[in-house]
């Protein structure tokens, strides 16, 4: 099978086709050397073409129990070499895959010029022009204004109903399964809501914690989710991961911005500013909080000083830019979930209207 990647910088790179199809997306790379099953099923990669900088992808198979959601989310996958297991899985899912190209070149281009649009064509009779046509039709990440609808749950789902732990209202902007299980494993009852659920319906479950999930795209395209955060601020503890941190900060008066090429990998160093302790974290984001508004920056990325943790005692807010649930990645930061559920136990009851 022939395969081509047409990049926004004008280059067309040829490769070996492993799973056929034509598509487009934002070209990004992850430096993670494990966790391809989790990354490929992470909803945060929706509308992105995922390049693995680690050269051999698939050497421990494909196991559904590692999946973070029901389907593969990147529009296409690129590696130096995919095993047959992974190539067959992606073909079954209808997700184009290509290998036998110099991924160092792609990664260097994205690192130097930033995440860029690309077009992909893989098949028996595709041409470079097919990939160029896909590139011409590719929208910027922030132009995907309805991206939340593509990944959020269709209707409310309850996990651990009737449990005697904290009640968490999870606004699903594209949540990873291991975030839900990290909360349920600690005894919480989790009400998973579509990202655009009105505040009144969320209030009906009388949550101890409002939790805003990870997810794809530009946080500024999650207006309904931000409205719920504003409604609950000061009345219920609020937590968020990744997109969730960005949405919470933006809802409370802060701002967000796009990064050049973002952070995607499993060894991003994060320093806690109070203790000075540095932990290794899993990350996958292309936007960041620029101005935290009323929140305090309590943790930063050691590589580029961007905010990794935001908190407010007054508003009872605790968020992380990285992925404390790991999956893939180091488990240094799992304690975040204990801290979030700890906020619930010191909660003040919701004020009646």
Ligand X SMILES: NC(=O)CC[C@H](N)C(=O)O
Whether 287 has a binding-site annotation, put simply, is yes
Tell me whether residue 73 is one of the annotated catalytic residues.
Answer: no
Q: What are phi and psi of 232, to 5 degrees?
A: -90, -15
Q: If binding is defined by CB under 6 A, does position 329 make contact with ligand X?
A: no
Whether 327 has a binding-site annotation, put simply, is no
Q: Give least dist CB 44 to ligand X, A.
A: 3
Whether 286 has a binding-site annotation, put simply, is yes
Q: Is 123 helix (H, G, I), strand (E, B) or coil?
A: strand
The site string for ligand X over 266-285 (x = CB under 6 A, - otherwise) reads: ------------------xx
Q: If binding is defined by CB under 6 A, does position 41 make contact with ligand X?
A: no
Other Cβ atoms within 10 Å of 108 Cβ, number = 13
Tell me whether residue 155 is one of the annotated catalytic residues.
Answer: no
- Beta strands per DSSP E along the chain: 2-7, 12-19, 21-30, 48-52, 56-57, 76-78, 81-82, 97-99, 116-123, 157-159, 167-172, 189-194, 209-212, 237-241, 255-272, 278-291, 296-301, 307-312, 317-320
Tell me whether residue 323 is one of the annotated catalytic residues.
Answer: yes
Q: If binding is defined by CB under 6 A, does position 298 make contact with ligand X?
A: no
Residues whose CB is less than 8 angstroms from the CB of residue 259 and which lie 6 or more positions away in sequence, other chains included: 285, 286, 287, 288, 306
Residue 293: burial class (beta carbons within 10 Å; 0-12, 13-18, 19+): middle
Q: Give least dist CB 117 to ligand X, A.
A: 15
Residue with Cβ nearer ligand X (215 or 307): 215
Whether 244 has a binding-site annotation, put simply, is no
Q: If binding is defined by CB under 6 A, does position 103 make contact with ligand X?
A: no
Q: If binding is defined by CB under 6 A, does position 25 make contact with ligand X?
A: no
Q: 74, 207, 286, 309: which one contacts ligand X (CB under 6 A)? A: 286
The site string for ligand X over 242-261 (x = CB under 6 A, - otherwise) reads: xx------------------
Contact (Cβ atoms closer than 8 angstroms) between residue 299 and residue 308: yes
The site string for ligand X over 193-222 (x = CB under 6 A, - otherwise) reads: ---------------------xxxx-----
Q: If binding is defined by CB under 6 A, does position 58 make contact with ligand X?
A: no
Residues whose CB is less than 8 angstroms from the CB of residue 114 and which lie 6 or more positions away in sequence, other chains included: 260, 261
Query: Active-site residue numbers?
Result: 242, 323, 325
Residues that bind ligand X (CB under 6 A): 44, 214-217, 242-243, 284-287
């Amino acid at each position: 099978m022939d395969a081509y990647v047409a990049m926004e910088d004008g280059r067309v790179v040829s490769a070996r086709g492993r799973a056929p199809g034509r598509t487009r997306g934002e070209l990004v790379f992850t430096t993670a050397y494990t966790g391809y099953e989790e990354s490929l099923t992470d909803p945060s990669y929706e509308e992105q073409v995922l390049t693995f900088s680690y050269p051999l992808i698939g050497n421990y198979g494909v196991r559904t129990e590692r999946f973070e959601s029901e389907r593969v989310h990147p529009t296409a996958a690129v590696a130096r070499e995919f095993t047959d297991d992974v190539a067959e899985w992606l073909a079954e899912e209808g997700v184009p895959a290509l290998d036998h190209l110099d991924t160092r070149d792609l990664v260097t281009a994205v690192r130097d010029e930033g995440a860029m649009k690309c077009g992909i064509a893989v098949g028996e009779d595709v041409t470079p022009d097919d990939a160029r046509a896909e590139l011409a039709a590719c929208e910027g990440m922030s132009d995907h204004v309805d991206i939340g609808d593509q990944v959020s749950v269709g209707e409310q789902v309850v996990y651990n109903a009737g449990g005697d732990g904290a009640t968490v209202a999870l606004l699903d902007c594209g949540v990873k399964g291991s975030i839900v299980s990290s909360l349920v494993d600690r005894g919480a009852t989790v009400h998973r809501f579509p990202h655009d659920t009105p505040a009144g319906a969320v209030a009906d479950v009388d949550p101890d914690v409002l939790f805003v999930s990870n997810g794809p795209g530009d946080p500024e395209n999650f207006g309904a989710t931000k409205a719920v955060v504003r409604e609950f601020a000061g009345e219920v503890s609020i937590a968020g991961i990744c997109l969730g941190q960005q949405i919470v900060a933006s809802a409370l008066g802060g701002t967000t911005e796009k990064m050049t090429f973002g952070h995607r990998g499993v060894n991003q160093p994060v320093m806690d500013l109070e203790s000075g302790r540095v932990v290794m974290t899993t990350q996958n984001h292309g936007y960041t909080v620029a101005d935290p508004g009323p929140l305090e920056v309590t943790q930063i990325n050691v590589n580029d000083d961007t905010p990794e943790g935001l908190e407010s005692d007054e508003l009872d807010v605790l968020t992380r830019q990285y992925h404390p649930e790991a999956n893939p990645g180091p488990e240094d930061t799992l304690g975040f979930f204990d801290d979030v559920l700890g906020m619930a136990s010191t909660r003040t009851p919701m004020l009646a209207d």
